[in-house]
Amino acid sequence: MISESHPFYKHFEKVYGARWPGLYAALVQSEQQVARQNKLSPVENLSAKKWSSFPQKPELPGCFWIPSGEHSQPERNADELLDIYIMDPASVMVARALDVQSGDRVLDMCAAPGGKSLVMIESLAEDGEIFCNDLSPERRERLKKVIQQYVPRSVRDRVWVTGKDGVQFGLKEPDSFDRILLDAPCSGERHILENKAAQDEWSPRRTEHLASRQYSLLAAAFLAVKSGGRIVYSTCSISPAENDEVVRKLLKKKKDAVRLVEAPLGVGGERTECGVIYLPDHAGFGPLYFSIIEKT
Ligand code: SAM
Task: Spell out the domain ranges in the chain.
Answer: 32-295
Residue among 71, 70, 72, 60 nearest 36 (CA): 60
Residue nearest to atom 14 of ligand 1 (CA): 112
Full-model pTM: 0.96
Which architecture does CATH list for 32-295?
Answer: 3-Layer(aba) Sandwich (3.40)
Give me the half-sphere count of Cα atoms (radius 13 Å) on the Cβ side of residue 257: 12
Pocket test for ligand 1, best of 134, 162, 236 (most atoms within 8 A of CB): 134
When mean pLDDT is compared across 20-24, 61-65, 67-71, 129-133, the lowest value belongs to: 67-71
Query: Is residue 94 a contact partner of residue 232, using CB atoms and an 8 Å limit?
Result: yes
- Percent of residues, the chain, with pLDDT higher than 90: 81
280-295 pLDDT per residue, tens: 999 999 999 999 999 9
Task: Please confirm, yes or no, whether 110 is among the known catalytic residues.
Answer: no
Pairing relation of β-strands 105-108 and 177-183? parallel
Atom nearest to 235 CA in ligand 1: 9
For the chain, what's the residue count? 296
Assess whether pLDDT exceeds 70 at residue 12: yes
pLDDT for residue 295: 97
> For atom 11 of ligand 1, which residue has the closest CA?
110
